[in-house]
Structure 1
Amino acid sequence: MPTLEIKTGILGASGYAGAELLRLLCGHPHFKPLCLVAASQAGARVGDLYPHLAAMAQQRYQHVQESLSELSRCDLVFCALPHGQAMTLLPKLESKVIVDLGGDFRLQDPAAYEQWYGVPHACPELLPTWSYGLPELFREEIITSTRIANPGCYATAAILAAAPLCQNGLIKGSLVINALSGVSGAGRAPKAELHFAHMYEDLRAYKVAKHQHTPEIEMVLERVAGAPVRISFTPYLVPMVRGIHLSCSAELAQDRTEEELLAVYQGFYKDQPFVSVAREQHGTKEVRGANRVFITPALDERTNRVIVTCVLDNLVKGAAGQALQNANLTFGFDEALGLDLSALYP
Structure 2
Amino acid sequence: MERIKVGIAGGSGYTGLELLRILHSHPLVEVIWISSESFAEKSLEEYCPAWVKRASLEFLSLSKQGVPSPVDVVFLALPHGESMSYLKLFGPEVKVIDLSADFRFKNREIYEKVYGITHLEPLALGEAVYGIPEIYRKEIAQARLVANPGCYPTSVIIPVYPLLKEGLVEEDIIVDSKSGVSGAGKKPQESTHFCEVYGSFKAYGVGKHRHQPEMEENLSELSGRRIRVTFVPHLLPVKRGILSTIYLKLRKEVSEQAIFELFKAYYQDRFWVRVFPPGSFPELKWVVGSNFIDIGFLKVDKQLILISAIDNLTKGASGQAVQNMNLMFGIDERIGLPENILYP
TM-score (norm 2): 0.96
Assess if the C-alpha contact under 8 Å between 2:249 and 2:303 holds in 1: yes
> In structure 2, what is the Cα distance between the partners aligned to 1:315 and 1:200?
20
Q: Quick one: which of 7, 21, 37 aligns to 2:35?
A: 37
> In structure 2, what is the Cα distance between the partners aligned to 1:128 and 1:55?
43
Q: Quick one: which of 136, 154, 157 aligns to 1:156?
A: 154
Q: Quick one: which of 80, 85, 89 aligns to 1:83?
A: 80
Q: Counterparts of 1:215-230 in structure 2 under 5 Å? A: 215-230=213-228
> In structure 1, what is the Cα distance between the partners aligned to 2:6 and 2:163?
38
SS at match of 1:271: coil
Task: Please name the residue that 2:271 is paired with.
Answer: 273
Assess if the C-alpha contact under 8 Å between 1:51 and 1:57 holds in 2: no
What does the per-residue CA deviation read over 1:283-305, in whole Å, with 9 as the maximum and x for residues that have no partner? Answer: 1111111000100121112xx10
Task: Please name the residue that 2:296 is paired with.
Answer: 296
Matched letter for residue 331 of structure 2: F
Assess if the C-alpha contact under 8 Å between 1:8 and 1:74 holds in 2: yes
Task: Please name the residue that 1:285 is paired with.
Answer: 285
Task: Please name the residue that 2:164 is paired with.
Answer: 166
Matched letter for residue 156 of structure 1: T
> In structure 1, what is the Cα distance between the partners aligned to 2:257 and 2:313?
32
Q: Quick one: which of 15, 18, 24 aligns to 2:16?
A: 18
Matched letter for residue 282 of structure 1: P
Matched letter for residue 234 of structure 1: V
Assess if the C-alpha contact under 8 Å between 1:45 and 1:61 holds in 2: yes
What does the per-residue CA deviation read over 1:58-115, in whole Å, with 9 as the maximum and x for residues that have no partner? Answer: 31111121343326x2111000001000011112321511100110000000100011
SS at match of 1:320: helix
Assess if the C-alpha contact under 8 Å between 2:171 and 2:225 holds in 1: no
Runs of 4+ in 1 over 3 A off after TM superposition: 54-58
Task: Please name the residue that 1:8 is paired with.
Answer: 6
Assess if the C-alpha contact under 8 Å between 1:26 and 1:55 holds in 2: no
Mean CA deviation greater in 194-203 or 90-99: 90-99
> In structure 1, what is the Cα distance between the partners aligned to 2:16 and 2:67?
20
Task: Please name the residue that 1:107 is paired with.
Answer: 105
Task: Please name the residue that 2:341 is paired with.
Answer: 343
> In structure 2, what is the Cα distance between the partners aligned to 1:333 and 1:68?
30
> In structure 2, what is the Cα distance between the partners aligned to 1:211 and 1:178?
12
Matched letter for residue 285 of structure 2: K
What does the per-residue CA deviation read over 1:237-295, in whole Å, with 9 as the maximum and x for residues that have no partner? Answer: 11000000001111110122222222211211111010010021121111111000100
> In structure 1, what is the Cα distance between the partners aligned to 2:88 and 2:243?
35
Mean CA deviation greater in 128-137 or 258-267: 258-267
> In structure 2, what is the Cα distance between the partners aligned to 1:258 and 1:84?
43
Task: Please name the residue that 1:200 is paired with.
Answer: 198
Assess if the C-alpha contact under 8 Å between 2:323 and 2:334 holds in 1: yes
Report % sequence identity: 37
Task: Please name the residue that 1:181 is paired with.
Answer: 179
Task: Please name the residue that 2:126 is paired with.
Answer: 128
Q: Mind listing any 5+ residue stretches in structure 1 that lack a counterpart?
A: none
> In structure 2, what is the Cα distance between the partners aligned to 1:86 and 1:298?
40
RMSD: 1.3
Task: Please name the residue that 2:251 is paired with.
Answer: 253
Shift of 1:341: 2.1
| Matched residues, number | 341
SS at match of 2:64: coil
> In structure 1, what is the Cα distance between the partners aligned to 2:51 and 2:276?
34
Shift of 1:177: 0.4
> In structure 2, what is the Cα distance between the partners aligned to 1:83 and 1:91?
16
> In structure 1, what is the Cα distance between the partners aligned to 2:252 and 2:202?
35
Assess if the C-alpha contact under 8 Å between 1:37 and 1:67 holds in 2: no
> In structure 2, what is the Cα distance between the partners aligned to 1:110 and 1:293?
30
Assess if the C-alpha contact under 8 Å between 1:46 and 1:56 holds in 2: no
Q: 1:57 to 1:51 in 2, by over 3 A?
A: farther
Matched letter for residue 87 of structure 2: L
Matched letter for residue 165 of structure 2: Q
Assess if the C-alpha contact under 8 Å between 2:67 and 2:89 holds in 1: no
Task: Please name the residue that 1:323 is paired with.
Answer: 321
Q: 1:274 to 1:55 in 2, by over 3 A?
A: farther
Q: Residue 263 in 1 paired to residue 280 in 2?
A: no
SS at match of 2:81: coil
Assess if the C-alpha contact under 8 Å between 1:163 and 1:221 holds in 2: yes
Matched letter for residue 93 of structure 1: F
